Amino acid sequence: MQKTKHYTIPIFIPDMACIGNCIFCDQKNITSHSHPPTKEDIQETIKTHLQSIPNANAHIEVGFFGGSFTGLSITKQKEYLQEVQSYIEDRKVHSIRLSTRPDMIDDDILRFLIQYHVKTVELGAQTFDKDVLQKSGRGHSIEDTYTAAEKIKAAGIILGLQMMIGLPADTLEKALHTANTIVELGATNTRIYPLLVIKNTELEQMYKSGEYKPLSLDASVDYLSKIIPVFEKANITILRVGLHQSEGLNSGDALIAGPYHPSIKELAISKIWKEQFQPLLQSDKYSDNIIIEVHPKEINSAIGYHASNKKMLLTKYKQIKFLPNPKITHRDYHVNNS
Ligand code: SF4
pLDDT (tens digit per residue) in 212-235: 999 999 999 999 999 999 999 999
If phi > 0 it is left, if psi is from -120 to 50 it is alpha, else beta; for residue 166 that is: left
Report which of 53, 33, 121, 41 is spatially closest to residue 84, judged by C-alpha positions. 41
User: What is the structure's pLDDT at 20?
Assistant: 66
| Chain centroid, CA 246 distance in Å | 15
Please give the residue that has the higher pLDDT: either 33 or 106: 106
Question: Residue 21 C-alpha to ligand 1 middle, in angstroms?
Answer: 7
User: What is the structure's pLDDT at 60?
Assistant: 96
User: What is the structure's pLDDT at 29?
Assistant: 53
Q: β-strands 197-198, 255-257: how paired?
A: antiparallel
Q: Check whether 31 has a pLDDT greater than 50.
A: no
Q: What is the pLDDT of residues 171-219, one digit of tens each?
A: 999 999 999 999 999 999 999 999 999 998 999 999 999 999 999 999 9
The band of 254, judged by pLDDT with boundaries at 50, 70 and 90, is: confident
> Which residues is 124 bridged to in the sheet?
162
Question: Residue 18 C-alpha to ligand 1 middle, in angstroms?
Answer: 6
**Cβ atoms of residues 39 and 153 within 8 Å:** no
CA distance 39 to 60: 19
> Atom 2 in ligand 1: which residue has the minimum CA distance?
22
CA distance 225 to 227: 6
284 three-state secondary structure: coil
CA distance 274 to 331: 11
Report which of 137, 131, 193 is spatially closest to residue 162, judged by C-alpha positions. 193
CA distance 61 to 43: 14
**Cβ atoms of residues 322 and 310 within 8 Å:** yes
Minimum mean pLDDT range among 94-103, 120-129, 221-230, 245-254? 245-254
Q: Is the CB of 27 under 6 A from ligand 1?
A: yes
**Cβ atoms of residues 127 and 173 within 8 Å:** no
**Cβ atoms of residues 22 and 191 within 8 Å:** no
Q: Is the CB of 70 under 6 A from ligand 1?
A: no
Q: Check whether 35 has a pLDDT greater than 90.
A: no
**Cβ atoms of residues 11 and 37 within 8 Å:** yes
Q: What is the pLDDT of residues 56-109, one digit of tens each?
A: 789 999 999 877 899 999 999 999 999 999 999 999 999 999 999 999 999 999
Question: Across the chain, what does the average pLDDT equal?
Answer: 93
Q: Is the CB of 243 under 6 A from ligand 1?
A: no
| pLDDT average, residue stretch 313-336 | 96
Model pTM score = 0.93
DSSP string, 175-191: HHHHHHHHHHTT-SEEE
| pLDDT average, residue stretch 39-48 | 95
Question: For a substitution probing ligand 1, which of 22, 30, 201 has the most ligand atoms within 8 Å of its CB?
Answer: 22
CA distance 329 to 322: 15
User: What is the structure's pLDDT at 169?
Assistant: 98
Q: Check whether 318 has a pLDDT greater than 60.
A: yes
CA atoms within 13 A on the CB side of 35: 5
Q: Is the CB of 18 under 6 A from ligand 1?
A: yes
